Amino acid sequence: MITPAELSDGVLKVLDECVGVVNIVVFPGAARSPAGDLVQFDIARESANEVIDRLQELGLHAEGSIAAEQIDLSISEVADRAREEAPGDGDDAVVWAEFAQRVEEDIQLTWAFLAFLTIATLLAAIGVIVNSPILIIGGMVMGPEFGAVAAVCFGLLRLDRHLIGRALRTLVLGFGAALAITFAFALAARWLGWIDAGSLSGHEEIEFIVKPDRWSFIVALLAGAAGVLSVTAGKSSALVGVFISVTTVPAAGYFAVAAALSRWDDMAGSALQLAVNIAGMVISGVVTLLVQKAYWSRFGMRLPARPGPG
């Protein structure tokens, strides 16, 4: 942290009073921009919310700076005792400020987001045409849409209409651009004679994409819960399984190809599959966040304040 000199006493008092904080080091006057003291310390993950909230109440985020990073290796009996004294378990802890920043980054409608979603949809479309589950899975893994879905869940938890609106805008515009480009690709393939109205017939292995049922919704519920847990617990490796479980990108790819081939029933089925998957993930994601919020409320952990206008 960088703390102005006039706030340093209050900041150090917060650190001294909070369970789970160890290895406090102060460099008076070391910071130049903004000017102030440099303070470093280690903290158990499960105590992070309390410390961050109290530091923000002091105005440190406005007058100074707060930055945090994961420690990959710590060999210290003092740190071990701090983790034992901290409430709950680190693997279950949700650092709400970290999650809020993560979803803010994931809903940015960047060229990279559009490129990844478009390439993923194109891969899934080719997989649909050549009846290749491997290509379809590749499209699933590459799709970046879950971050925006998680942002919708977090916005519903905080009743933040601005965040929900931005996340939905990213999803709509992102899928809209990916669908338009994939549709153009499929039209070009049809004009070249590479595909025709019968290209989607006899593909039993991938018919699940256009035939959503109760199991589709259940899978989406499970995937949404697992996805939110993986993000809040910092277990990003679990997200790969989430991507492979849901058929958002394959449904978009199938829809574009079916539209180019004028297969209206397949268009309706794939559109319904896309809606079922997103709805299921949002529902279970919100429920998962509510459970986590209720669990950590026993330890006085709070959600970050909603950002002001602008």
Residue 304 lies in a domain: no
Task: Name the band, by pLDDT with cuts 50, 70 and 90, for residue 229.
Answer: confident
Determine the pLDDT at residue 124.
Answer: 92
- Write out the residue range of the structural domain in which residue 276 sits: 96-297
Give the lowest-confidence range in 99-113, 224-238, 264-278, 296-310.
296-310
Please provide the average confidence, as pLDDT, over all residues in the chain.
Answer: 86
Using the 3D structure, point to which of 67, 90, 113 is the last residue of a domain.
90
Nearest to 48 by CA among 98, 101, 95, 102: 95
Shared domain for 170 and 222, answered yes or no, is: yes
Task: Name the band, by pLDDT with cuts 50, 70 and 90, for residue 298.
Answer: low
Give the lowest-confidence range in 76-85, 142-151, 214-223.
76-85
Give the lowest-confidence range in 126-140, 153-167, 222-236.
222-236
Q: What is the DSSP string of 30-83?
A: EEETTEEEEEEEEE-GGGHHHHHHHHHHTTHHHHSB------S----HHHHHHH
Shared domain for 13 and 134, answered yes or no, is: no
Using the 3D structure, point to which of 90, 117, 137 is the last residue of a domain.
90
- C-alpha distance from residue 18 to each of 41, 52, 87, 267 (Å): 12, 11, 11, 56
Shared domain for 188 and 55, answered yes or no, is: no
Task: Name the band, by pLDDT with cuts 50, 70 and 90, for residue 299.
Answer: low
Shared domain for 165 and 141, answered yes or no, is: yes
Give the whole-number percent of the chain exceeding pLDDT 70.
Answer: 90
Shared domain for 207 and 230, answered yes or no, is: yes
Amino acid at residue number 213? D
Q: Residues 137-187: pLDDT tens digits?
A: 888 888 889 899 999 999 999 999 999 999 999 999 999 999 999 999 999
Cα separation, 277 vs 262, in Å, equals 24
Shared domain for 56 and 130, answered yes or no, is: no
Cα separation, 229 vs 301, in Å, equals 17
Shared domain for 112 and 218, answered yes or no, is: yes
- The arithmetic mean of pLDDT across residues 197-210, rounded, is 77
- Number of domains present in the structure of the chain: 2
Determine the pLDDT at residue 169.
Answer: 95
Nearest to 169 by CA among 225, 246, 114: 114
Shared domain for 266 and 139, answered yes or no, is: yes
Task: Name the band, by pLDDT with cuts 50, 70 and 90, for residue 238.
Answer: low
Residue 309 lies in a domain: no
Shared domain for 136 and 285, answered yes or no, is: yes
Q: Six-digit token pair at 263?
A: 């297969």
Shared domain for 207 and 262, answered yes or no, is: yes
Residue 78 lies in a domain: yes
- Whole-structure pTM value: 0.83
Residue 213 lies in a domain: yes
Shared domain for 33 and 74, answered yes or no, is: yes
- C-alpha distance from residue 154 to each of 173, 178, 207 (Å): 20, 25, 33
Shared domain for 73 and 114, answered yes or no, is: no
